Structures are given as structure tokens and as C-alpha cells.
A and B are shown apart, each in its own frame.
Chain A
Amino acid sequence: MEWVETTGRTVEDAKEAALDELGVDEADAEFEVLAEAQTGLFGRLRSEARVRARVKPTAPRSKDDRRDRRRRNGRSQSTASGTSAGRASGGRSPRSATGERDADGTGPDEPAPTPSGTGSGDSADDAQDQSARRRRRRPRSRTRSETPGGAPLDVSGATDDSPLTKAPEATAKGTDVEVALEEQADIAKEFLTELTAEFGLEATVAINRSDDDTVELQLTGGDLGILIGPKGATLVAIQNLTRTVVYNETGANNGHINVDVGGYRQKRAEALARFATQVANTVKQTGQRTAMEPMSSIDRKVVHDTITGIDGVSTISEGEEPRRRVVVLPD
């Protein structure tokens, strides 16, 4: 299991950076604080906080495992006992149980995986009511994701009384709300449409289902470069805000929302993946570790993910932001 090392102004920052890099939830990661940040005179930063993190070792192949767990419904449950006993005590597996119960056990108030589809006949008030309720439960989900150790406890508590649980209680307890990706995507689309209009841009927002739990909002139109910004910084910000808005309004803890403008991210990722594959092959042939140039965490993730799928090489990140880079190692 590979470790990544990150730095930040505070330990929290560094942890956050590590999570970005690993692409997992805080509950699925394990941290080691290497150094606290030290402040010098007048609060100037003398040295950054450093942490080491890795995905909690729950299964031999981290990447597949991650995908597996994200899928959570049905499949992960039925296969969990077979593939890895460790996973049950890990991060997500118990939650998938919660998610399923949300879906079928807790009655009409609980947002089922396809609330927008089935609820279209209901009044709009009803839908608003629902989103308001999800809002209220949001702080709890925050707290919980910050205390990974507490997660299994939470869930077991919910399991005990689940059959008798009334909806409001379940609402308070069930911190992972499964919201249909379609519903999340609709909110994202509406937000992005509004945002581009305020920018005075004419953009079309398309919703593409990338895979089981990822949806991509693709903006197309003329003159959208301003939404990408230097090195894609504005695009990253727009994506962050879109995710935050969707989360605020749904409380959804499932699925991933990506935002892309004019295929920028995809082109960039494709080129990067090709390049990473080349580097990996060279490393395999020469047996020499190779450091790549510094990249953003998003780009590094593309490299990590690409090379994880190649046998005989592995990757780590080293250096400090903004000059942090991926190093490709021969096995």
C-alpha cells in the first residue's frame, strides 16, 4: 500500500492535500503526522506541517477496492464477505448498509436513490421539504467524516434500531444520504447555467454519466477560456463550488461530480495519461526511478491512477506544494 506525503500550512491542510491525492474519503485514509507546522516571528510560516497518509489497507488492490466500495449498493455487500473480511471493519462497507436501508426501509420521507424520478408527481413543496431536511442534517455528516473511528459506531447504532426507526430519527442518524446522481447533476447544471449567465457567457451544459458513480458536467460554447483560467485554476474553483452547492442542497454523500469546460480536463488527462504510460514503460525497462515535473494534485492523481494500472512500477509523490511531483519507481 503506497504512502503519500503531503505538506500544508497546518496539519489539517496537509491531511486535506493527502486526501486529494489519494482520492478517498477521510474515513478511508490513515494518517501519520510527521511534523507540525512551526510559526516564526509575526506568525510567518517557518516550516510546513507534514503528514504521511495512505488508503486504509482493506484489500490487496487499492484502486479496484476503492471503486468497489464506492459502488456500495448491493454488489459490495454481497461480495464483501467473500473478497475481504478486513473491509467490513474498514471505511465504507458499513455505510453501504445504511445507504440501502435509506433506500428501502425508512418510509416515504427518506430520499430514495431515485427521488426525483418517483417524486415528480409529488408537489414541489414536498421536494423542498426534503432538501431542507437534508440541509439540517449536514453538520452531522461533517462531524462524522472527521472522526473516522466514530463511523462504525454510528452505523451499528443505526443498525440496531433500524426496523423501528421513524423517519426523522433516521434522518438525524443517517449521515450518508444516497441521492440519485441525476438529481445531483440537475442541481449542478442549474447552478452552472446560472453562473455562466452571470459571466455573460453563452454556454451549454451537458450531463454525461462517466461511470456508475461519476457524473460530468460538460460546458461548451464560445469563449469559455475564462472559466478555465491559468492552468485550469478557475475550472477547479468552479468544480469545487459546484460540488459544495450540490452538497449543501442535497446532503448527498454518494457519487462524484466533475466539471469540465470544452473538453479541457479530458484532453489534459488523456495527454497526461499517455505521457505517464511512456514514463512508466521507460522506468520498467531501465529499472531507474524517474521524477516527473511538478503538477497540481488533480494532474498527479491522473498519473497515479494511470500507473497503478501498470504492472512492475509504482508511484509516490514527493516535494512540497506547489512543486510537488510524482516519482515513478520500479518494483
Chain B
Amino acid sequence: MTPSDGGALDEVEGDEWEDAGHPEGGRARTVLQLLATRLVDNPDAVRVETSEARNGIKLSLHVAPDDMGKVIGRRGRVAQSIRSVVRAAGARDGVDVFVDIVD
């Protein structure tokens, strides 16, 4: 296991992706970041990671443990709305976006 190698590889991929005109997930990512920040009590703990998925990109949303409920909502209603809006933002860039809320 060589973490540095893995890190380097990730970075290269990330850079190439940015070159393709989707800086770290493009609008979908910034929209997700905005939504999450406005919904939680600890905006500083909001983190969005971008990774490639089969047919698009995956955005992994991390929030403070206490804020999980805020971004999921009763019966997942907030999460559903977030996905819907973030997907629309991705569609504007022509990218399929999946949002994963990580606990």
C-alpha cells in the first residue's frame, strides 16, 4: 500500500477531468455545496468529494454527524430534493450526477 502513489494517481485523474471543463464536478458540485451549507448547522463540516461513476460522476456529500438528519429530512424528502436539484445542475453541464450522502 503506497498512499502517495494512490494520491498522485487521483490527482492526475482529477486534473484531466478539470481540463475537460468540469472543474471538480462543475456546477453540480457547487450547487450541492451551496445546498448542504445552507441546510446544516455546521457549514464548516460540509465536504463534497467527486469521483467518476459508470455513466457520469458521483458526488459524495459529507456533513457533521449531527447534521445528517438535516440533509436527509423526514422520510428522505430533503435528500430527494437535493438530488433532484443537483441532477438538474449536472444536466446543464451535460453530466449525469449521482449524489451519495455519506455517514
Which A residues are closer than 8 A to B by beta carbons?
A: 8, 10, 12-13, 16, 135, 191, 194-195, 198-200, 226-227, 229, 233-234, 236-238, 240-241, 244-245, 248
Distance (Å) between the CB of B76 and the closest chain A CB?
9
In the complex, A238→B82 CA distance in Å? 8
- B85 near A241: Cβ-Cβ < 8 Å: yes
Let me know if B68 is at the binding interface, CB within 8 A. no
- A194 near B34: Cβ-Cβ < 8 Å: yes
Which residues of A lie under 8 Å from residue B31 when comparing CB positions? 195, 198-199
Which residues of A lie under 8 Å from residue B91 when comparing CB positions? 226
Q: What would 23 A/B residue contacts be, using CB atoms closer than 8 Å?
A: A12-B75, A198-B27, A199-B27, A199-B92, A200-B27, A229-B84, A233-B84, A234-B84, A234-B88, A236-B81, A236-B84, A237-B81, A237-B82, A237-B84, A238-B81, A238-B85, A240-B78, A240-B81, A241-B35, A241-B39, A241-B82, A241-B85, A244-B39
Contact partner, A13, options B35, B70, B75, Cβ 8 Å: B75
Extra pairs beyond A241-B82, A248-B38 (10, CB < 8 Å): A8-B75, A10-B75, A12-B74, A199-B27, A199-B31, A199-B88, A233-B84, A237-B84, A240-B77, A244-B73
Interface residues of B in 52-103 (CB under 8 A from A): 70, 73-75, 77-78, 80-82, 84-85, 88-89, 91-92
Which residues of B lie under 8 Å from residue A227 when comparing CB positions? 88
Of A8, A200, A227, which is in contact with the most chain B CB atoms at under 10 Å from its CB? A200
In the complex, A191→B35 CA distance in Å? 9
In the complex, A244→B80 CA distance in Å? 13
In the complex, A147→B30 CA distance in Å? 38
Which residues of B lie under 8 Å from residue A8 when comparing CB positions? 75
Main secondary structure of the interface of B (DSSP, over half): helix
- A237 near B80: Cβ-Cβ < 8 Å: yes
Let me know if B10 is at the binding interface, CB within 8 A. no
In the complex, A236→B88 CA distance in Å? 12
Which residues of A lie under 8 Å from residue B88 when comparing CB positions? 199, 226-227, 229, 234
In the complex, A12→B74 CA distance in Å? 9
In the complex, A248→B78 CA distance in Å? 12
Which residues of B lie under 8 Å from residue A234 when comparing CB positions? 84-85, 88
Using known A-B contacts A191-B38, A248-B39, determine if residue A198 contacts B84 with beta carbons closer than 8 Å.
no
Distance (Å) between the CB of A136 and the closest chain B CB?
9
3 tightest A-B contacts by CB? A237-B84, A237-B81, A240-B81
In the complex, A227→B31 CA distance in Å? 13
Which residues of A lie under 8 Å from residue B84 when comparing CB positions? 229, 233-234, 236-237
Using known A-B contacts A195-B31, A248-B39, determine if residue A226 contacts B92 with beta carbons closer than 8 Å.
yes
Interface residues of B in 2-39 (CB under 8 A from A): 27, 30-31, 34-35, 38-39
Of B31, B39, B81, B82, which is in contact with the most chain A CB atoms at under 10 Å from its CB? B81
Contact partner, A200, options B74, B80, B92, Cβ 8 Å: B92
Which residues of A lie under 8 Å from residue B35 when comparing CB positions? 195, 241
Which residues of A lie under 8 Å from residue B70 when comparing CB positions? 248
In the complex, A236→B85 CA distance in Å? 9
Closest Cβ neighbor of B73 among chain A residues = A244
In the complex, A8→B91 CA distance in Å? 29
Distance (Å) between the CB of A306 and the closest chain B CB?
26
Which residues of A lie under 8 Å from residue B85 when comparing CB positions? 195, 234, 237-238, 241
- A241 near B81: Cβ-Cβ < 8 Å: yes
Closest Cβ neighbor of A245 among chain B residues = B38
